[in-house]
Amino acid sequence: MKSNFIEAVKCGVKSLFSSQKIDESKISKHAIEIIKVLQKNNYEAYIVGGAIRDILMDKNPKDFDIATNATPEQIRHLFRRSRIIGRRFKLVHVIDGRDIIEVSTFRAQPHNKEVMSNGVTKDNEYGTLKEDAERRDFTCNSIYYNPATRKVIDFYGGVKDIKEKKLSMIGDPKIRFDEDPVRILRAIRFSAKLNLKIDKNIIEAIESKKTQLQSIPYSRLFDEIMKLFLTGHALQSIDLFNKFNLSNYYFPSFKSTDPKTQSFLLKGLSDTDMRIHSNKSVNPGFLLSVFLWKEVKEVWGKRNKTSINSTVALNDAIEYVLEKQSKIFPIQKRFGVTMSEIWRLQPRFGKLHPKRIYRLLGHPRFRAAYDFMLLRDYHGEVEPGLCGWWTNFIAADEKTKGVLLQNIKLK
């Protein structure tokens, strides 16, 4: 299934062969070796998509994708340490230690549409390089690089759009959103992540097509929305999320005009971004607990007036808020459990008795709950001195811990 690139050019699609310099020191050596093996066996092979885009934007790419005219079975035959994956479209993961490079076969428009249970059209139609470029969504993601010739192949002006800091779509945005409404969220994510201005015709298409997101299966939609806030550009994402009024569909608390609520939310997002940029782990449940805290706190305060104790009131508030949220945009169960534990641990930080302290310290969600308490303390919601005591206790050796326990007095 070896395509002829010259024939693809003759088909009338405008292509650009550019001598644009690519810093190959930023390209995975594993990816380069895979391309050499494919080309040695007379297959076309290029690095494509986000890696080339990021290098052109002077960023360090984390992932490298390769596109080729070799079929998955042919790729698998060439690389002993590889496996074929994918339902919508078969891909091959070529493995080198912990390094995994994704190799895909050029795609074409499918002749027979087969919609899977997740609402996505099955897509195992192979094609030429030109057809593969046409299938990609944004121009900045449709740039190919051949390390052997050191040439960039750019059919749709992606290099120019990157230089102009513009996010443009290949084809009519309305049609592309009809094909897959999740591209609306991808447009927002790339704009926020790459600081690219969204093209006017994409903005218009988002406004007219955003209700189609409601047709996307919940699990896929949830994952795409969380990517907006868990990939290091949450503050920019929430601005665009609100700009397109998507908050009304998923997280109404984003639209709160209360200054304290806004500060709490933005500080939580900012802290998450900083953790990601510092290569620290992030917990989706923590961020979701930030999103819904305003309502939990308000309901907790009201239930406190009638409940037998504050713990019961808090549990009632959590159940009420999660039930309400489930009717708007459900939280996946595993994250709902994490959120509930983070919230339920908050009152326990104030119960400074040795056994309770060590029991709390050993809780699996202690660190997330502690970070949440710090966020609350920043906004004046915690008893003065409590966060300082816990911070000192966590950092102390066993002897100092003993002293702190003997002298429990909050200022």
Q: Phi and psi at residue 275, in whole multiples of 5°? A: -65, -40
Q: Does 397 fall in a domain? A: yes
pLDDT 10s digits, 378-410 = 999 999 999 999 999 999 999 999 999 988 865
Do the Cβ atoms of 141 and 53 come closer than 8 Å? yes
In a domain, 271, yes or no: no
Catalytic residue from among 65, 132, 273, 371: 65
- In angstroms, the first-to-last Cα distance of the chain is 75
Q: In what order do the strands lie in the sheet with 17-18?
A: 17-18, 151-154, 143-146, 45-48, 65-68, 99-105, 91-96, 82-85
In a domain, 381, yes or no: yes
Q: 13 and 150: one domain?
A: yes
Beta-carbon contacts of 305 under 8 Å, excluding residues fewer than 6 positions away, are none
Instruction: Let me know: does 397 contact 411? Beta carbons within 8 Å.
Output: no
pLDDT, tens digit, 9 for 90 and up, residues 259-302: 999 999 999 999 999 999 998 988 899 999 999 999 999 999 99
CA-CA-CA-CA torsion sign (313, 356, 350, 346): negative
Catalytic residue among 63, 172, 178, 239: 63
Q: Rounded to whole angstroms, how far apart are CA atoms 227 and 185?
A: 9
Residue 148 sits in the same domain as residue 238 = no
Backbone angles phi, psi at 219, to 5 degrees: -60, -40
State yes or no: is 397 an active-site residue: no
Per-residue pLDDT band at 105 (split at 50, 70, 90): very high
- Which of 240, 257, 274 is where one domain is finished? 257
Indicate the residue among 144, 164, 184 that finishes a domain.
Answer: 164
Alpha carbons 364 and 6: distance in angstroms, whole number: 59
| Same domain assignment for residues 28 and 136 | yes
Statement to judge: residues 70 and 214 lie in one domain:
no
Residue 103's CATH number: 3.30.460.10
Residue 273 lies in a domain: no
Q: Is 65 labeled as catalytic in the residue annotation?
A: yes
Which of 116-125, 188-197, 304-313 has the largest mean confidence?
A: 188-197
Which positions ≥6 away from 199 have C-beta within 8 Å? 166, 167, 168, 169, 173
Quick one: 84 and 150 in the same domain?
yes
In a domain, 243, yes or no: yes
Residue 104: beta bridge partners? Answer: 67, 91
Phi, psi of 103, deg, nearest 5: -115, 125
In a domain, 299, yes or no: yes
**Looking at the structure, do residues 380 and 243 belong to the same domain, yes or no?**
no
- Which entry of 54, 123, 132, 137 is annotated as an active-site residue? 137
Q: Is the same domain home to 149 and 181? A: no
Residues in the chain, how many? 411
Q: Which helix (DSSP H) or strand (DSSP E) does residue 152 occupy? A: strand 151-154
Domains in the chain, number: 3
**Region of residue 195 (left: phi > 0; alpha: psi -120 to 50; beta: else):** left
Same domain, 176 and 159: no
Residues of the domain holding 105: 1-164
268 belongs to a structural domain: no
Tokens 């919601």 correspond to what residue? 381
292 and 401 assigned to the same domain: yes
**Domain CATH number, residue 316:** 1.10.3090.10
Joined together, the tokens standing for residue 362 give 């050993």
111 and 138 share one domain: yes
Domain boundary among the residues 104, 132, 164 is at 164
pLDDT of 354 strictly over 70: yes
Q: What is the mean pLDDT of residues 107-117?
A: 69
137 is catalytic: yes
3-state secondary structure at position 153: strand
159 and 189 housed in the same domain:
no
In a domain, 230, yes or no: yes
pLDDT band at 13 (very low <50, low <70, confident <90, very high): very low
The CA distance from 350 to 36, in Å, is 61
pLDDT band (50, 70, 90) for residue 339: very high
C-alpha to C-alpha distance for 154 and 18, rounded to whole angstroms: 7
Whether residue 195 is found in the same domain as residue 287:
no
Nearby residues of 29 by Cβ (< 8 Å), 6 or more positions away: none
Q: Give the ranges where 332-385 is alpha helix by DSSP (H).
A: 333-345, 354-361, 366-378
Quick one: which of 240, 283, 292, 302 has its CA closest to 265? 292
The rounded distance, in Å, linking the Cα atoms of 170 and 151 is: 21
Digit-coded pLDDT (tens) for 241-250? 999 999 988 9
- Burial class from Cβ neighbours inside 10 Å (0-12, 13-18, 19+) for residue 245 reads exposed
pLDDT computed for residue 87 by the predictor: 76
